[in-house]
Structure 1
Amino acid sequence: MSYLEYNVKRVPSGLSKVLYFNWPLFLLLCTVAGAGFLMLYSVAGGSLEPWAEPQIKRFALGCVVMFAIAMVPIWFWRNMAGLAYGISLALLVGVEVMGTVGMGAQRWIDIGFMQLQPSELMKIALVMLIAAYYDWLDVKKVSHPLYVLIPLILIALPVALVLNQPDLGTALLLVMGGGIVMFCAGVSWWYWGVMIAAGVGTVTAVFSSRGTPWQLLKDYQYRRIDTFLDPSSDPLGSGYHITQSKIALGSGGWTGRGFMQGTQSRLNFLPEKHTDFIFTTLAEEFGFVGAFSLLTIYVGIVLFCIVSAITNRDRFGALMTLGIGATFFLFFAVNMAMVMGLAPVVGVPLPLVSYGGSAMLVLMVGFGLVQSAHVHRPRGR
């Protein structure tokens, strides 16, 4: 559907937009965030400070932002895609110049009331721009080499900056998020075969470069890979995180030890218990039942995004919704795989549950865009 065709279609206006708001999706988001508040309260020893109360305030602000974005016509956000990408890219460059350092990485910019992580903004901005690009591009040109190269460049620029921070986990999410939008836009399968071959070659090069002057990863990233392959090789060093995580997961059993009764988190054996490893705290206190319930809600959110995209006749809205839904899926899939020892530890937070300002607000912005696409989708003449 062309831009002009879209604008002659009837879309809701005024207060009627509230009726078209995807309320089930909003309730699922609130449920996940509520679980996060409980876990942050628990890991703080039964206190709203220092994590739960700020997280509640951020989520409340995020809800206001989501509603505000949802009420704005989707064509406006389509037109803002390039600006959003440009600002995010400029902020990533700003991190290189004046970024603050935390845990050995330079990823944040101090804006006074919070530490902003520009790479989080880029996850949404990149999806928006690639979706807008394929909405503009003639469908017949989608698989033309020249027109495939353009989105690859758009992906490569922020990935290079994020890798330099260094943040391998976010770089991988950017690549996969952008790649999924390209796939949904209809890029030929031949390109994916080439990309898979390139991925295998990259992995081979990464391992071959270890210990050489042209080493492709940092030493701590190689240690993470070693730990993933054999956590017992260094149980008190690089393998400590995943070893304690597995202990917490296993000790939860079917129904868990009970709220605020997890020994691994309460006795501080579990590192980063309020951020990257908060899922293991939930699994220890609520067991398999609690962990599976959270996973079910996450899957429900992704399914709502897929259904909304499939039923949306606006190409930009559909592609953007699929891209944001995929980014959300990658967030929780990578985090859960990481803490269960199924993937290397790459520092990806559990969406809406882990403590963090940038990730929380950016996700709410993303779902505001999903809601905007849902509210303003064409509904006939």
Structure 2
Amino acid sequence: MSLANDWQQQDFSVEASLAQNSTKFYQSRINQTALRSRIHTVQLYDGFGISGNLAASLERFAGLEGEQQSEFSYDAGLGSRLFLSPISSVDVAASFSDRYQILSVDEARYQSSDSPLVNSEQRTVVASWQLGSATQLRSLNLTFRHRNDEKTSAVSSRLFKSEQSNDLGARFTNRISEDTNLVINVGHSKYDLGFQSGTKKPDITDALVGFATDYFGNSSLEVLVGISKRSETERQASSDVFSWQLINVLSLSESSSLQISTKRQLTSSPNPVFLDAQLSDLEVDFDWRFLEDWSVTAQMQVANLEFGDGSTADMLALRTNLGWRLNEYLTLSSYVKYEDFDGEQTRFIHAGTNAGMSISWEFY
């Protein structure tokens, strides 16, 4: 997590937006109207930079058992980058949020909730050290992330799910030819998951090795293979699977690109019955700026979760976004998303279409 997309130049922006969303939650249709404001800044000094982000929103939800409910949400973050040398830097960032949101069906199908509206409190701290870059002979990136996320019912304050995780990651690259790098990815995640039925504390370790290469001038391909292993000290239990990750970014033209990514790995189980699940995932993203002020994106995701008893849960998501920049300060955007969930239990099954549109003003 970095609060700044570009540490090369200073930035200060103030933005306001009005959004309308319609979400299908099983047999219910929930309409959400949100008025949001956001302030973002990046300030650069001799040897270091500071970034800040503050967002607040007033949201109204209709369709919750015939009632309307208004809620206030906020999101705040502070980050800094220390420039140690031209090839080395250290990033530290922290973010805090308290949001009211519609529970995703992908979570709700594993345990019941007395309301589709939940209060999500999230705290995240990230620290990373970067030495070198992919364009140089060698590079090394070390990352630590602590995350605490708790979701409770907006009606009864009953716990839906809590998740605390500590993640350590390392990525090493070494150039082996003009366009190709050797890549080694290692990660370890320690979870403390709280469900309505109890807690689970799995550890998951991933070790992958492969290559990343550039082709056709501005396209890239990364292929990694390895092992994903889960362990739990309290139960002295473990499992492992052969894992992989493939990311192919194809530049179709100056104004369009296509990204195809697929992976297989162990992940913490969203189903409280199991410690982990085997995730197989395919994502396709298409971006096209077909006019100077018009852009369209199309996304497809197909995912499969396999649990310890061999049961599965599937998901298909299709989404398209259309954006129109009316002038330097005003942007109009809209989206349509179709979701289809399937599985071997009745409540795993759901299909629905969500849609929304928003208009945003950037004052500075």
Same fold (TM over 0.5): no
More strand by share: 2
TM-score (ref. length: structure 1): 0.28
Higher relative contact order (CA closer than 8 Å, sequence separation 6+): 1
More helix by share: 1
TM-score (ref. length: structure 2): 0.29
